[in-house]
Amino acid sequence: MSEQETSSATGHSQRPAIAWRNPPLLFELSREGRLGVELPPVGVAESALEELLPESVRRTDLAGLPEVSEVDVIRHFIRLSRRNYTPELSLYPLGSCTMKYNPRLNEEVVRLPGFANSHPLQPISTVQGNLELFWALEQALIQLTGLSRVSLSPAAGAQGEFVGMLMVRAALDKRGEGRRYVLIPDSAHGTNPASAAFAGYQVKELLSNEHGTLDLEDLERAMTEEVAALMLTVPNTLGVFEDQILEIARIVHSKGGLLYCDGANFNAFIGKVRPGDMGVDVLHMNLHKTFTTPHGGGGPGSGPVAVGEELVPFLPAPLVNSGADGFTLDFDRPDSIGRVRSFHGQFGMLVRALAYIVGMGGEGLAKIAENAVLNANYLRKGLEGSYHLPYTTPTLHEVVFTDKRQTASGVTTLDIAKRLMDYGFHPPTIYFPINVSGALMIEPTETAAKEDLDSFVEAMCSIAIEAEEAPELVQGAPYTTPVRRCDEALAARKPVLRWHPPEAADS
Amino acid sequence: MAKMPDPDRGFGHRYLPTGTEDRREMLEAIGAPSVEALFSTLPEEILLREPLPIEGPLSDQELRGYFGRLQAANQVAGRDLISFLGGGAYRHETPAAIDSVTTRSEYLTVYTPYQPEVSQGTLQTIFEFQTFISILTGLPVANASLYEGASAFAEAILMACRVQRKRSKIIVARSIHPHYRQTLATYATNLDLDVVEVGWDESGRVDLEALERELGSDTVCIALQSPNYFGVVEPWDRLSAPAKAAGALTIGVVTEALSLALLQSPGEGGCDIAVGDAHSFGLSVSFGGPLLGFMAVKDAFKRSIPGRLVGQTVDQDGQRAFVLTLATREQHIRREKATSNICTNQALCALAATVYLALHGPQGLADLAQLNLQRTASLRRRIGEFPGFSSRFSQPCFNEFAVRASSPAGGVIAQLEAAGILAGVPLGPDYPELEDTFLVAVTECNPPEELDRLVEELGAL
């Protein structure tokens, strides 16, 4: 351990343990009589509690809730924050997650009181600013997608997929066609089959060919009149654009099916081509990917869905319309699939997304894709001498390598990922897509600077050398992180899913 | 000396750290003649030749001006008007400490903690959130946040169906938030669920006789809300007992999470699943999103719960550590057989709630809940004293109650709106039989002077 290495001859460590580096749980910090909030007086004539709420409906206690001051709380969360890696340090190249810079200005505007304090059930005459914002965002997304209308309701990409598939189902029902299957390539994100199943469809998997794209003959065979839709991620999770997309759309449409595009990777071609022009009928976008709303440690996301003319009647209610009397909310949509959440969507995320769009402008938005693709190709060039590239097809915004060259010395993708942490990087997405063994899926995004890309390549190449010369070093990584490799089997075998007071833990 | 700026801006943009020099060097390293060449797989015939006609790039100043104008076009509580709106979105004070934590890069811009060694901060905060929700709901397993209450409710019903496979009927109280029930209807569209709704009795609670008529050996679950959509406190065990006797699960819905500080917890009251929205813990109402879904379940259902779970373990040196766990339920492993398609969650909102709950502690939460209760009771009593108005239901309420007017509620609300008061949410649009009734919510954000104003204006009608 480093502490021992730096110990002086006297036996005293040069680097004593720092207590705050291992913050206890909030519940363990609790000391009787500490308080972190000052409340206003009740200010009205009070009644006896028993008169207002009989004892039978009241809770008996709040045992276990911690008693801490505001100072304790701030310290606790600052200490904990130092146990997270953040994209503001350097690369956080999770493939298909688009971990790009989130403009700080957007955090400022979303907190403006007229947005933050607007209530979702206010009369629409009092929220015209919000409705104008919905309208402006929808118009921008229509421009960017080349589709007809956009629902801003879905709470996340996965909910957008679900909404998209429900609309597919509703449209086919309207035609009188009860189709049973949805085609999904093996490289797809796991949410695609889950969303299709949630919409009541059976999933048929399509295998990728040696270029990492769909095989058109396979598609022709699989695409029958029993198939409702093809769900396709463009570019796919290998970063490869389906160069036959127009032909794919033709095949799907020739059998009366619909083309669903998973827009998780929209960042790769935004402003270069439009999904509507590709023949896509329905597309969801992840605002936390392409449109820089913060990932927040896993959310909140936001998953607007854009559709072509045929699907417009089925969009979730409400939609925002613009008229002579200002903006209105349209709930009168008889063919709508209905409501998928409370109120109007992830409004705070929509504010940030629009701020990003107008902060970039039409010209800037096209540069996003250009720089994202430039960065990914630069990384690919830098790494292809050290790592196995399973598909040599041109890649756009992300590139997938594998551990094939390292496994001979016993070093796996997991080891490489963990070792990267010691070099000061977040690992890429690993073991995904599932059709590539030992995948390392790297997406630098357009906001990675060249010098960071260079350091990342240098780190990865050093790890490749370590894997050959000192495999056990890589296998033992990480060494420098707040905790080292975690026993995930134990966590799953004996789940501890909350803190328990010490007495209860004994029993 | 620095060169003068290029009048042709070239590639520079504040959010794009790639200058013309970088671009040239990188293209050279790649061996590509141009950036356009990297897009060779895009179909030529649909390539956009011109930038799309989207406004911008706006400078910071212009952008602030634009959004400043939009937000000023709204009229909001605390600035332009007085509001007693609730109906599933409750306005509460948010301590400054929350934003100071949630805007830190280490929480704000990171993703799902797939790599525990560099994500202990996020993992521990989610574990703490799970503990808070577990304590408040009285159920042992709480997950790491669903999107918001309505979709969380639908997920809870689907979960109940998974654990009660042989049964088919779902009984839902009509006094559950209309959006929650509408969302369930959408989720259930293609899943062949038999959903039956039961009404309420004169006192505002679920109609027990109607419920018992529907309840049988084919019942998957019953679902009720407390305080219900009309603000009425429902004793959980009044319904969970007969449900249990019939072998059905009880789902307790909570849209105003602050009520948990004062009311019997769903777990204590015999609920098997508690679900709802916890935005009251530190989020602004923000036009209804993002909010914060939650779900808590009995231990037996921990492998059926949708979404992410964080568990405690140890690292290889024996130190305590936290990881995502029980992932075999999830879409990235189970694909079409997953318990849910949920992938992203509401982690940042869960963090805000965790900070909020830590700041308040048991004393702060109980005091705040009582403050809400007392102000509400006071207003309810005063409004009930007017000849034209009465409290619609007799049962106890927490911080929201239904007011019956002697004329359609829409007219009353419109008159008060003209006086700068949003008096409440009309019930008529969702419950035609309650055309004359509206909901009034009172929180600590409504100081006594606002209660006086409402009383005065009602008196003047």
Q: Residue B125's domain is classified under what CATH number?
A: 3.40.640.10
Nearest to B207 by CA among B239, B247, B182: B239
Do B323 and B393 belong together in one domain?
no
CA–CA dist B44, A28 (Å, integer): 62
To 10 degrees, the CA torsion angle through A132, A137, A143, A145? -140
Nearest to B224 by CA among B245, B205, B202, B203: B205
Instruction: For residue A205, tell me if it sits in a domain.
Output: yes
Q: Cβ contact (<8 Å) for A132 and B81?
A: no
The predicted structure's pLDDT at residue A123: 96
Asked whether A501 and A64 are in contact (CB, 8 A), the reply is yes
Which residue on chain B is closest to A178 by alpha carbon? B190
Number of domains in chain A: 2
Instruction: For residue A57, tell me if it sits in a domain.
Output: no
Residues of A in contact with B88 (CB under 8 A): 342-343
From B355, B371, B399, give the residue that closes a domain.
B355
DSSP A18-82: PGGGS---HHHH--TT-----PPP--S----HHHHS-GGGB-S--TT-----HHHHHHHHHHHHT
Asked whether B298 and B140 are in contact (CB, 8 A), the reply is yes
CA–CA dist A315, A296 (Å, integer): 28
A501: left (phi over 0), alpha (psi -120 to 50) or beta: beta
Asked whether B284 and A116 are in contact (CB, 8 A), the reply is yes
Neighbour count for residue A19 (Cβ, 10 Å): 9
- Which parts of chain B have pLDDT scores under 70? 1-11
Q: Taking CB atoms and an 8 Å cut-off, how many pairs form between chains A and B?
A: 691
Do A132 and A234 belong together in one domain?
yes
Task: Label residues A236-262 b or e (16+ Cβ within 10 Å = b).
Answer: bbbbbbbbbbebbbebbeeeebbbbbb
B365 inside 8 A of chain A by CB: yes
Do B329 and B386 belong together in one domain?
no
CA–CA dist B224, B271 (Å, integer): 10
Nearest to A182 by CA among A141, A131, A228, A115: A228
Which two tokens mark B390? 């009465």
Residues of A in contact with B312 (CB under 8 A): 491, 496-497
Instruction: For residue A407, tell me if it sits in a domain.
Output: yes
Q: Cβ contact (<8 Å) for A432 and B103?
A: no
How big is chain A, counted in residues? 507
Residues 35-94 of B with CB under 8 A from A: 35, 38-43, 45-48, 51-58, 60, 63-64, 66-81, 83, 85, 87-89, 91
Mutate which: A341, A358, A380, A447, vs B, most B CBs within 10 A: A341
Residues of B in contact with A128 (CB under 8 A): 73-74
Do A355 and A381 belong together in one domain?
no
Do A197 and A138 belong together in one domain?
yes
Query: Is the ipTM reported for this complex over the cut 0.90?
Result: yes
User: How is residue A472 annotated by DSSP?
Assistant: H
Asked whether A359 and B63 are in contact (CB, 8 A), the reply is yes
B17 inside 8 A of chain A by CB: yes
Identify the burial level of B433 via C-beta atoms within 10 angstroms of its C-beta, where 0-12 means exposed, 13-18 middle and 19 or more buried: exposed
A203 inside 8 A of chain B by CB: yes
Cα separations (Å) of B20 from A161, A262, A267, B13? 38, 32, 21, 11
Residues of A in contact with B426 (CB under 8 A): none
Q: Cβ contact (<8 Å) for A358 and B57?
A: yes
Mutate which: B136, B189, B191, B286, vs A, most A CBs within 10 A: B286
A227-263 pLDDT, tens digit each: 999 999 999 999 999 999 999 999 999 999 999 999 9
Q: Residue type at A17?
A: A
B123: left (phi over 0), alpha (psi -120 to 50) or beta: alpha
CATH number at residue B422: 3.90.1150.10
**Looking at CA atoms only, how far is residue B9 from chain A in angstroms?**
11
The predicted structure's pLDDT at residue A89: 96
Do A212 and A258 belong together in one domain?
yes
Residues of B in contact with A322 (CB under 8 A): none
Which residue on chain B is closest to A287 by alpha carbon? B344
Do A308 and A434 belong together in one domain?
no
Q: Cβ contact (<8 Å) for B347 and A296?
A: yes
CA–CA dist A431, B114 (Å, integer): 12
**Looking at CA atoms only, how far is residue A469 from chain B in angstroms?**
24
Identify the burial level of A135 via C-beta atoms within 10 angstroms of its C-beta, where 0-12 means exposed, 13-18 middle and 19 or more buried: middle
Q: Cβ contact (<8 Å) for B183 and A70?
A: no
Instruction: For residue A443, tell me if it sits in a domain.
Output: yes
Q: Cβ contact (<8 Å) for B63 and A299?
A: no
Do B163 and B228 belong together in one domain?
yes
Query: What distance separates the 2 farthest-apart alpha carbons in chain A?
Result: 86
Asked whether B243 and B250 are in contact (CB, 8 A), the reply is yes
A156 inside 8 A of chain B by CB: yes
Do B265 and B178 belong together in one domain?
yes
CA–CA dist A36, B368 (Å, integer): 13
Q: Cβ contact (<8 Å) for A200 and B190?
A: yes
How far does Cα A409 stand from its chain's mean position?
34
Residues of B in contact with A369 (CB under 8 A): 39
CA–CA dist B192, B169 (Å, integer): 10
CATH number at residue A308: 3.40.640.10
Identify the burial level of B460 via C-beta atoms within 10 angstroms of its C-beta, where 0-12 means exposed, 13-18 middle and 19 or more buried: exposed
Which residue on chain B is closest to A123 by alpha carbon? B422
**Looking at CA atoms only, how far is residue B263 from chain A in angstroms?**
4
Do B86 and B118 belong together in one domain?
no
Residues of A in contact with B104 (CB under 8 A): 77-78, 81
The predicted structure's pLDDT at residue B343: 77
Do A296 and A279 belong together in one domain?
yes
Instruction: For residue B63, tell me if it sits in a domain.
Output: no
Residues of B in contact with A236 (CB under 8 A): none
Q: Which of A82, A118, A361 sits opposite B74 (nearest CB)?
A: A118
Identify the residue whose tokens are 């905790």: A483
B23 inside 8 A of chain A by CB: yes
Helix axes A347-383, B60-72, angle to 10 degrees: 150
Do A379 and A448 belong together in one domain?
yes
Residues 105-144 of B with CB under 8 A from A: 105-122, 124-128, 130-132, 134-136, 138, 140-142, 144
Q: Cβ contact (<8 Å) for B358 and A66?
A: yes
Task: Provide the pairing of β-strand B249-254 with B273-277.
Answer: parallel
Q: Cβ contact (<8 Å) for A338 and B127?
A: no
**Looking at CA atoms only, how far is residue B179 from chain A in angstroms?**
5
Do A277 and A415 belong together in one domain?
no
**Looking at CA atoms only, how far is residue A468 from chain B in angstroms?**
24
Instruction: For residue B368, tell me if it sits in a domain.
Output: yes
DSSP A171-234: HHHHHT----EEEEETTS-THHHHHHHHTTPEEEEE-B-TTSSB-HHHHHHH--TTEEEEEEES
Do B287 and B226 belong together in one domain?
yes
Asked whether A377 and B76 are in contact (CB, 8 A), the reply is no
Do A409 and A290 belong together in one domain?
no
Do B183 and B201 belong together in one domain?
yes
Residues 388-407 of A with CB under 8 A from B: 393-394, 396
How far does Cα B360 stand from its chain's mean position?
20
Q: Which residues lie closer than 8 Å to A143 by C-beta, 6 or more apart?
A: A362, B52, B53, B54
From B318, B338, B355, give the residue that closes a domain.
B355
Do B318 and B172 belong together in one domain?
yes
CA–CA dist B123, A497 (Å, integer): 11
The predicted structure's pLDDT at residue A423: 98
- Which parts of chain A have pLDDT scores under 70? 1-8, 504-507
Instruction: For residue A16, tell me if it sits in a domain.
Output: no
Do B103 and B215 belong together in one domain?
yes
CA–CA dist A241, A238 (Å, integer): 9
Residues of A in contact with B60 (CB under 8 A): 105
Q: Cβ contact (<8 Å) for A143 and B52?
A: yes
Instruction: For residue B76, tell me if it sits in a domain.
Output: no
Identify the burial level of A292 via C-beta atoms within 10 angstroms of its C-beta, where 0-12 means exposed, 13-18 middle and 19 or more buried: buried
User: What is the residue range of A274's domain?
Assistant: 105-360
CA–CA dist A175, A164 (Å, integer): 17
Cis peptide before B266, with omega less than 30 degrees from 0?
A: no
B372 inside 8 A of chain A by CB: no
**Looking at CA atoms only, how far is residue A507 from chain B in angstroms?**
15
CATH number at residue A445: 3.90.1150.10
Residues 95-114 of A with CB under 8 A from B: 97, 99, 101-103, 105, 107-114
Do A321 and A380 belong together in one domain?
no
Is pTM beyond 0.80? Reply is: yes
User: What is the residue range of B340's domain?
Assistant: 96-355
Average pLDDT, chain A: 95
H/E stretch holding A157: helix A157-175
Neighbour count for residue A334 (Cβ, 10 Å): 6
Mutate which: A58, A60, A84, vs B, most B CBs within 10 A: A84
Task: Label residues B65-89 b or e (16+ Cβ within 10 Å = b).
Answer: ebbeebbebbbbbeeebbbbbbbbb
Do A327 and A243 belong together in one domain?
yes
Identify the burial level of A489 via C-beta atoms within 10 angstroms of its C-beta, where 0-12 means exposed, 13-18 middle and 19 or more buried: exposed
